[in-house]
Amino acid sequence: MNESSSRPRSIDRAVTELARLPGIGPKTAQRLTYHLLRSSGDQVLVLAEALRNLKEGVVTCSVCFNMSDRNPCHICESPDRDHAVICVVENLLDLVAIERTARFRGVYHVLHGAISPMDGIGPDELRIRELVQRAKDTSATEVILATNPNLEGDATATYIARLFEGSDIAVTRLARGLPVGGDLEYADEVTLGNALAGRSSA
């Protein structure tokens, strides 16, 4: 930023903080900052308030590791859902994507990542042990592995499937209607819904 020396420090700070967010580069951060500067005072305050409350009002569900405003979360508490069918996803956004299909009536388990030795992530860094324990404790009948259709997602699914070998729990994987190498969260509802319906044994 060439003009950084001449403009108020508060603007620089806002640009720097916004640029830290994923998907936002320095150019976008700058555009957002100047947009906020031109917006009404109320609008900026509402945003600030929303951000301030973001962390306070959100807790991690101790059953499925979803984020919610209560623990256990809405899904884990719902009597309308089939608690014997657990869908395993890498991230919160994958859970949101599957919910959007409105085709799944079971419950979730969020791993918070995938196995990737390069990034220092092994099975112990994910919520895998909790998954196995939970499936046994709740007498689950099916575990659906909805990890991303890429190398690390496959590694994670394969590893988890092994852990359930010899148990009575059916382990399935999403059908391959999904673009290979893609991310679940970017799949459209129809594709993802079909993949869910056509899942196969892992």
Q: Give me the residues that bind other proteins (CB under 8 A), please.
A: 1-2, 19-20, 22-28, 115-118, 120, 122-123, 151-152, 154-155, 158-159, 162
Among 15, 29, 73, 85, binds Zn ion (CB under 5 A): 73
Question: Is position 171 an interface residue for Zn ion (rule: CB under 5 A)?
Answer: no
Burial class for 187, CB neighbours closer than 10 Å (0-12, 13-18, 19+):
buried
CB of 158 to other proteins, least distance (A): 5
Most distant CA pair in the chain, distance: 68
CB closer to other proteins, 101 vs 156: 156
101 with 196: CB under 8 angstroms?
yes
Q: Which residues pair with 172 in a beta bridge?
A: 144, 201
Q: Which does 64 bind (CB under 5 to 8 A by kind): other proteins, Zn ion, none?
A: Zn ion
CB of 71 to Zn ion, least distance (A): 8
Q: What CA–CA distance (Å, rounded) separates 30 from 162?
A: 49
Q: What CA–CA distance (Å, rounded) separates 37 from 128?
A: 45
Q: Which does 66 bind (CB under 5 to 8 A by kind): other proteins, Zn ion, none?
A: Zn ion
Q: Which does 2 bind (CB under 5 to 8 A by kind): Zn ion, other proteins, none?
A: other proteins
Q: What CA–CA distance (Å, rounded) separates 155 from 115?
A: 6
Region of 14-22, 65-73, 97-105, 129-137 interacting with Zn ion (CB under 5 A): 65-73
Among 66, 91, 147, 148, binds Zn ion (CB under 5 A): 66
Peptide bond into 72 cis (omega under 30): yes
